Structure 1
Amino acid sequence: MKPNIGIINSMVRITAGLSMLTLLTIRANKTREVHPMLVVLASMKVAEGIVRYCPLTAAFEEMAEETDGIEQGWQQNLNQFSS
């Protein structure tokens, strides 16, 4: 598993994740209502920044990767059906 996000992106993710966790902690102290999924998402952002690996970015990069070297576009697909 090699890093797939840059240094700046990782710093932004760590900052955003810690900010979200701080706000969720403040909200939990005031209202006693915080959805656990929000805490999980915030902590995932912190973890992604520390490890410098994002699974969603890896999935999008894998889907966008060309395997045969031929660029497939919408125009090529439409021309195949018009014949």
Structure 2
Amino acid sequence: MKQNIGTVNSMMRIAGGLTLLAWSIAKMAREKPTGAQLFVSMMGAQKVAEGMTRYCPMTDLLDLDQA
């Protein structure tokens, strides 16, 4: 698996993913979790993972090499 996103893109994905995770976890802590909150938390975790590995499967699928 080769890296296909740049450093700045990676940092933005990590920051955005952590924001989504924090929001969804705070919301789920206050009330019963809904499907939408679980979906947002999974998408946030995916963005953090993409940022940490600097690999995006969609970018690879569409052949948009940004590194």
- Is the Cα contact below 8 Å between 1:24 and 1:34 reproduced in 2? no
Between the two proteins, the alignment pairs up a number of residues equal to: 62
Query: Which structure's relative contact order is higher, taking Cα pairs within 8 Å and 6+ residues apart?
Result: 2
Q: Note the alpha carbon deviations across 1:22-66, whole angstroms, 9 max, x for none.
A: 00011011222243222211100000000000000001117xxxx
Q: Deviations over 1:8-30 (max 9, x none)?
A: 00000000000000000110112
Structure 2 unmatched runs, 5+:
none
Give runs of aligned pairs for residues 23-42 of structure 1, distance below 5 A.
Answer: 23-35=23-35, 36-42=38-44
TM-score by length of 2: 0.83
- Distance in 2 between residues matched to 1:7 and 1:25, nearest whole Å: 27
Unaligned runs of 5+ in 1: 63-83
- The RMSD of aligned alpha carbons is 1.3
Preserved CA contact (<8 Å) 2:10 2:52: yes
Q: Percent identity?
A: 37
Tell me if the contact between 2:25 and 2:41 (Cα under 8 Å) persists in the aligned partners. no
Counterpart residue number, 1:17: 17
